[in-house]
């Protein structure tokens, strides 16, 4: 099996002869269906005693290691070497997790080398030459160490079905790493106070209710950036998360069904669900998510039908769920009975200058004082609009003062197209008096 260049969410370590075509194979399939990128080796890689370079690379590209400790796990020197490598690699790394699964074995047998584990180690001792006894001690320490991690225990005579046990393992995986965070390319400026304000409106600690919060304001003022910052700061408190960006554009180009499919794939994790019409989608959302504590962001909403198709009523989601809606149209929030709202304002002069400086000069701490006047001119022109500040700063990166003056003269005659089009969408949505 070739190892790809990107990382894996989960690495499965197991005794192939014990569980490959049963428990571990089923676990792998469910993990993949839930959208969790999982590495499982092929049978060729487990031949021999030493782990291969390909497996070492896969281990180093993985975040969570599920160790399936089955009856004959310790009889394989390959498995013991793999376990030792995993433990050595993850030692001291806070961004890596180990999750042992005691499959039809007693955790105390693993820890104290009893039962089949004791027998396997005794057999290894007979086969190993005297100068390899150190390796036996390393294996014993590895088994003792892995048994001390918090994991899952399946008893063959217990009251739990195996598929329920697999579901339990799969649902515990996302909590081991925060895979819900959204990438942010820019240093966030002037958001500390707005983030705190929106989080206060969300009241994440109140798990007995479902809250919807609307974020509204002019196009380009930073509604999406604010929603991303809030989302990243609270995502760890929810069972399932989904950030539906560009709702306006996606709805127009691909229909409401596309938005519903994205929501279901992100929150339910069942890749087999495929909504063919929006009425069917609303029914599936209500059935699948009514018991889940969900964090959902609907970004850039411009039609009430979009909200009706995704969350017409708060009781569609489980208690403790939170919905954030960003829109340019405050009246749309009123129409959908969203009581808690926050209006995003333009940046003040200090934050506007900070954002422009970052985009125009990178992260340099000192800017040539000769740029002082032209920077202030650009800040005044942008009127505190983050979009305008980012576009202007990027366009003027590395340019001389004379070039700055020329570009700003041009902007005052004819605005940058991307800024103009963003503002035009907001303008066109106004009634005649507001225009």
Residues 293 and 211 in one domain: yes
- Report pLDDT for 384: 87
For 2-6, 25-29, 213-217, 327-331, which range has the lowest pLDDT when averaged over its residues?
2-6
Please tell me the distance from the alpha carbon of residue 295 to that of residue 249, in angstroms, as a whole number.
21
Please tell me the distance from the alpha carbon of residue 382 to that of residue 180, in angstroms, as a whole number.
33
Phi, psi of 194 (to 5 degrees): -60, -40
**pLDDT more than 90, % of the chain:** 46
Strands 8-13 and 62-69: parallel
The domain spanning residue 225 has which CATH number? 3.40.50.300
> Residue 361: pLDDT band by 50, 70, 90 thresholds?
confident
In a domain, 3, yes or no: no
Residues 25 and 151 in one domain: yes
Q: What is the mean pLDDT of residues 352-357?
A: 89
Q: pLDDT tens across 375-387, in order?
A: 999 899 888 888 8
Phi, psi of 253 (to 5 degrees): -85, -35
> End of a domain among 323, 343, 363?
343
- Report pLDDT for 168: 86
Residue predicted with more confidence, 119 or 390: 119
Task: Check pLDDT > 80 for residue 182.
Answer: no
Q: pLDDT tens across 418-433, in order?
A: 666 655 555 555 566 6
Task: Check pLDDT > 90 for residue 317.
Answer: yes
The angle that helices 256-267 and 278-289 make with each other, rounded to 10 degrees, is 20
Phi, psi of 220 (to 5 degrees): 85, 5
In a domain, 80, yes or no: yes
Q: If you average pLDDT over each of 49-53, 263-267, 361-365, which comes out highest? A: 263-267
Cβ atoms of 296 and 321 closer than 8 Å:
yes
**pLDDT more than 70, % of the chain:** 86
Residues 145 and 49 in one domain: yes
Please tell me the distance from the alpha carbon of residue 177 to that of residue 183, in angstroms, as a whole number.
15
Residues 196 and 280 in one domain: yes
- Report pLDDT for 219: 86
Phi, psi of 11 (to 5 degrees): -115, 125
> End of a domain among 286, 308, 343?
343
Can you spell out the DSSP letters for 2-39?
Answer: PPPSS-EEEEEE--HHHHTTTHHHHHHHHHHHTT--EE
Residues 222 and 303 in one domain: yes
Task: Check pLDDT > 90 for residue 250.
Answer: yes
Q: What is the mean pLDDT of residues 167-182?
A: 71
> End of a domain among 141, 172, 203?
172
In a domain, 434, yes or no: no
Please tell me the distance from the alpha carbon of residue 228 to that of residue 232, in angstroms, as a whole number.
6
Residues 32 and 102 in one domain: yes
- CB neighbour list of residue 68: distance below 8 Å, 6 or more residues apart: 12, 13, 14, 15, 18, 19, 23, 24, 27, 101, 103
Task: Check pLDDT > 90 for residue 345.
Answer: yes
Residue predicted with more confidence, 353 or 366: 353
Residues 290 and 376 in one domain: no
Residues 209 and 322 in one domain: yes
Cβ atoms of 82 and 55 closer than 8 Å:
yes
Residues 123 and 240 in one domain: no
Q: Total structural domains in the chain?
A: 3
Q: pLDDT tens across 186-240, in order?
A: 557 888 899 999 999 999 878 889 999 999 998 888 899 999 989 988 887 787 8
Q: What is the mean pLDDT of residues 253-264?
A: 92
Please tell me the distance from the alpha carbon of residue 321 to that of residue 242, in angstroms, as a whole number.
12
In a domain, 178, yes or no: no
Please tell me the distance from the alpha carbon of residue 105 to that of residue 114, in angstroms, as a whole number.
10
Residues 145 and 12 in one domain: yes
Residues 421 and 396 in one domain: yes
Structure tokens at 127: 């086969």
Residues 25 and 167 in one domain: yes
Nearest CA to 359 among 382, 392, 407?
A: 392
The domain spanning residue 40 has which CATH number? 3.40.50.10140
- Report pLDDT for 163: 82
Q: What is the mean pLDDT of residues 351-374?
A: 83
User: How high does pLDDT run on average in the chain?
Assistant: 85
Please tell me the distance from the alpha carbon of residue 345 to that of residue 360, in angstroms, as a whole number.
22
Active site amino acids: 82
In a domain, 292, yes or no: yes
- Report pLDDT for 1: 46
Domain that holds residue 80: 8-172
In a domain, 185, yes or no: no
- CB neighbour list of residue 409: distance below 8 Å, 6 or more residues apart: none
- CB neighbour list of residue 377: distance below 8 Å, 6 or more residues apart: 408
Q: pLDDT tens across 269-286, in order?
A: 665 677 888 888 899 999
In a domain, 430, yes or no: no
Structure tokens at 76: 């394989």
Residue predicted with more confidence, 108 or 63: 108
Task: Check pLDDT > 60 for residue 363.
Answer: no
Please tell me the distance from the alpha carbon of residue 188 to that of residue 82, in angstroms, as a whole number.
42
In a domain, 279, yes or no: yes
Phi, psi of 47 (to 5 degrees): -80, 140
């Amino acid at each position: 099996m070739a190892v790809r260049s990107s990382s894996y969410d989960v690495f499965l370590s197991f005794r192939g002869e014990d569980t490959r075509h049963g428990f571990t194979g089923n676990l792998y399939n469910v993990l993949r269906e839930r959208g969790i990128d999982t590495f499982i080796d092929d049978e060729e890689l487990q031949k021999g005693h030493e782990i291969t370079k390909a497996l070492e690379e896969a281990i180093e590209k993985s975040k969570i290691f599920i160790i399936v400790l089955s009856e004959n796990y310790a009889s394989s020197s390959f498995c013991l070497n793999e376990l030792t490598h995993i433990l050595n690699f993850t030692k001291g790394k806070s961004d890596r997790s180990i999750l042992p699964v005691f499959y039809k074995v007693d955790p105390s047998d693993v820890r104290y080398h009893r039962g089949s584990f004791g027998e396997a180690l005794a057999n290894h001792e007979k086969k190993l030459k005297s100068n390899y006894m150190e390796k036996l001690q390393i294996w014993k320490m590895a088994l003792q160490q892995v048994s001390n991690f918090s994991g899952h225990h399946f008893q063959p005579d217990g009251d739990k079905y195996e598929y329920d046990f697999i579901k339990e393992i799969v649902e515990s995986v996302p909590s081991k790493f925060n895979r819900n965070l959204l990438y942010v390319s820019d240093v966030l400026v002037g958001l500390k106070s707005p983030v705190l304000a929106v989080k206060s409106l969300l009241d994440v600690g109140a798990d007995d209710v479902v809250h919807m919060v609307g974020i509204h304001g002019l196009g380009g003022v930073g509604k999406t950036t604010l929603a991303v910052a809030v989302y990243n700061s609270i995502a760890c408190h929810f069972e399932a998360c989904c950030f539906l960006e560009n709702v306006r554009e996606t709805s127009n180009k691909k229909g409401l069904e596309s938005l519903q499919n994205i929501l279901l794939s992100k929150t339910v994790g069942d890749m087999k669900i495929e909504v063919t019409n929006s009425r069917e989608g609303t029914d599936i959302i209500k059935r699948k998510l009514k018991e889940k504590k969900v964090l959902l962001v609907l970004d850039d909403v411009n039609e009430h039908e979009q909200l009706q198709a995704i969350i017409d009523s708060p009781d569609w989601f489980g208690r403790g769920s939170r919905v954030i809606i960003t829109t340019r149209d405050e009246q749309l929030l009123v129409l959908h009975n969203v009581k808690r709202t926050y209006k995003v304002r333009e940046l003040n002069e200090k934050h506007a200058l900070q954002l422009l400086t970052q985009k125009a000069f990178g992260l340099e701490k000192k800017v040539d004082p000769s740029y002082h006047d032209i920077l202030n001119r650009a800040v005044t022109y942008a009127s505190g609009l983050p979009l305008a500040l980012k576009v202007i700063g990027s366009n003027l990166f590395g340019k001389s003062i004379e070039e700055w003056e020329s570009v700003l003269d041009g902007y005052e005659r004819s605005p940058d197209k991307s800024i103009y089009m963003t503002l035009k969408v907001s303008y066109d949505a106004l009634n005649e008096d507001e225009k």
